[in-house]
Amino acid sequence: MTPTPHAGTPRPRSTGGSSAGSSNSSWANRSGSNRGGFTGARSGGFGSRGSGPRSAAPSRSGSGGFVGSRSGVGYGGRSTGAAYGSRFGGRSGGRGGGKSERIDISRFIRKAPVSTAVTEEIPAYVPEHKFVDFLISDLIKQNITEKGYVTPTPIQDRAIPQVLLGRDVVGIANTGTGKTAAFLIPLIDKVLKFRILDQKENILIVVPTRELAIQIEEELVGFVKGMGIYSMVCVGGTSIVPQLKKLRSHHNFIIGTPGRLKDLIERKALKLEWFKTIVLDEADRMLDMGFIADMKFLVAGMPKPHHTLFFSATMSADVEKLVKDFLTDPVKISVKTGDTAANVDQDVIRVSDPSRKMNQLYDLLQKPEWSKVIVFGKTKHGVEKISVGLQKMGIKAESIHGDKRHAQRQAALKAFKENRVQVLVATDVAARGLDISNITHVVNYDIPATYDDYVHRIGRTGRGGKTGKAVTFV
């Protein structure tokens, strides 16, 4: 969408409240320059991550003591038992060391129940609402109907009313259960209600990867059709110049990765004082990727009070601490039905001879039912090697990892979504947030570093209530 340029710099106006029920006292005169001093080095290219010691500390450390360079451009592989190396390109301030854990192999095995057993063991969720019941604009309802949505998912059913009331919300749900719409729908309504009052409401959505940012905007575009609501994506891995130019016009929704957002703020192209609402999506992944300083910087620079939403598929102890620091009397909504979706059949494949691992993968891919497969590897180099190897075997495959340019990654995703390739080989850059229809299988070619990573990897299949399969080479 091409926004209509607005005269002057867009600034939110003070307001005495909104019909959505959110707290909107006058905007605090707080500049985005009030950052917590968490700065570090900037790396010009792609760093590496592997086994062994952390790479050398950056030339400039921040006052918060966070060292190691990091990028907002993606996420590479992670070596089991290893400390993180330097982060790729982009802003620094990232955490130098990562986490890994020993995962019991039995946790990779879980048989999905047959359909009759699902009815008996897992009672169907009965939503309290239909989309037409929500106190939202008829324009939104019309676009929801055109998308074919009638009944909200559990997280949507329980979260949307709370967000409409202006409450801070922590939403936890299994991956693939509609968390994005759970915050987009009520926030779009919030923008429309402020417009009726001749006021601007700007929303900042912060995500760990550029793929997730792009996907959220694509979903947003469908919901706001015909409303004159504008959005833009601010992510690393692409030239900052077009983003600087687009920010001269007003956008109701800014969706970005922490490193690029911070860069734009430091260039004074983006001001945190414009925003009274922030969404931290996949907050645990941002914490794990070393974005803690940037997250604190963004939240601290916003006016007070502000509206904060957390949405994720998992909630670690570290993120629980952030919730206490960032949110005010939040409503906690958890609709998880277990660590992994019940409709994903999980099993292991034992590899007795490592030299035959590729052949075992090839044999699986020959089966007719293995029609759309994501293969997860540990490192960028390893992922590229798997992809090239499969291509040499006659398998249509593409790869996605941190060393790929933004355009290359988008082209690979597009080919996979359009079924022009059978296999997408990826690092954990694709483990979160990507909503691609009808993925039949997920293969953990390399064991993930943590069980949370495993949960998100296999969450790429079995989405929307469909059955999926995941196998792990051990």
Residue 159 has pLDDT above 70, yes or no: yes
With vertex at residue 152, the alpha carbon angle to CA 148 and CA 158, rounded to the nearest 5 degrees, is: 160
Q: How confident is the model at residue 19 (pLDDT cuts 50, 70, 90)?
A: very low
Tell me, yes or no, if the two domains 124-334 and 339-473 fold the same way.
yes
* Of 60 and 330, more confident: 330
| Per-residue confidence band for 119, with pLDDT thresholds at 50, 70 and 90 | very low
- As its CATH architecture, domain 339-473 has 3-Layer(aba) Sandwich (3.40)
Q: What pLDDT score does 341 carry?
A: 61
Range in 31-40, 114-123, 240-249, 344-353 the model is least confident about: 31-40
Over residues 436-468, the pLDDT tens digits come to 888 999 999 999 888 878 888 888 888 766 788
Q: Are strands 231-234 and 344-349 parallel, antiparallel or unpaired?
A: unpaired
Can you tell me the mean pLDDT for 72-96?
35
What value does the mean pLDDT take over residues 25-46? 37
Which tokens hold the place of 95? 């955490």
What CA–CA distance (Å, rounded) separates 399 from 194? 43
pTM for the full predicted model: 0.65
Looking at residue 175, what is its pLDDT?
Answer: 66
Q: Residue 277: enclosing H or E segment and its boundaries?
A: strand 277-281
Q: Give the pLDDT band of residue 391 (cuts 50, 70, 90).
A: very high
Q: Quick count: other Cβ atoms within 10 Å of Cβ 334?
A: 12
Q: Average the pLDDT over 180-189 and give the result.
A: 96
Band of pLDDT at residue 320, cut at 50, 70 and 90: confident
Look at residue 431 in the predicted model and tell me its pLDDT: 67
What local confidence, expressed as pLDDT, does residue 15 receive? 37
Mean pLDDT of the region 260-284 = 94
Average pLDDT of span 28-34: 37
In whole angstroms, give the CA distance from residue 430 to residue 35.
Answer: 30
- In which band, very low, low, confident or very high, does the pLDDT at 402 lie, cut at 50, 70 and 90? confident
Predicted local confidence at residue 113, as pLDDT: 54
| pLDDT bracket for residue 123 (50, 70, 90) | low
Nearest by Cα to 153 from 132, 181, 114: 181
Q: Which residues pair with 90 in a beta bridge?
A: 43
pLDDT of 430 over the 50 cut: yes
Predicted confidence at residue 47, as pLDDT, reads 38
Q: Report pLDDT for 232.
A: 97
**d(Cα 77, Cα 380) in Å, to the nearest integer?**
6
* Residue ranges per structural domain of the chain: 37-100, 124-334, 339-473
Architecture of the 124-334 domain: 3-Layer(aba) Sandwich (3.40)
Greater model confidence, 23 or 383: 383
DSSP labels for 282-342? THHHHHHTT-HHHHHHHHHHS-SS-EEEEEES---HHHHHHHHHH-SSPEEEE---SSS-T
Measured between its terminal Cα atoms, the distance across the chain in Å is 46
The pLDDT value recorded for residue 407 is: 86
Q: What is the mean pLDDT of the chain?
A: 78
d(CA 180, CA 58): 36
Helix orientation angle between 179-196 and 210-223, rounded to the nearest 10 degrees: 50
Percent of all residues in the chain with a pLDDT value above 70, rounded to a whole number:
72
Does the structure show a pLDDT above 70 at 364? yes
Instruction: Compute CA distances 430 → 8, 365, 454, 457, whole Å.
Output: 39, 20, 12, 8
Residue type, 172: I
For the residues 370-399, what does the mean pLDDT come to?
95
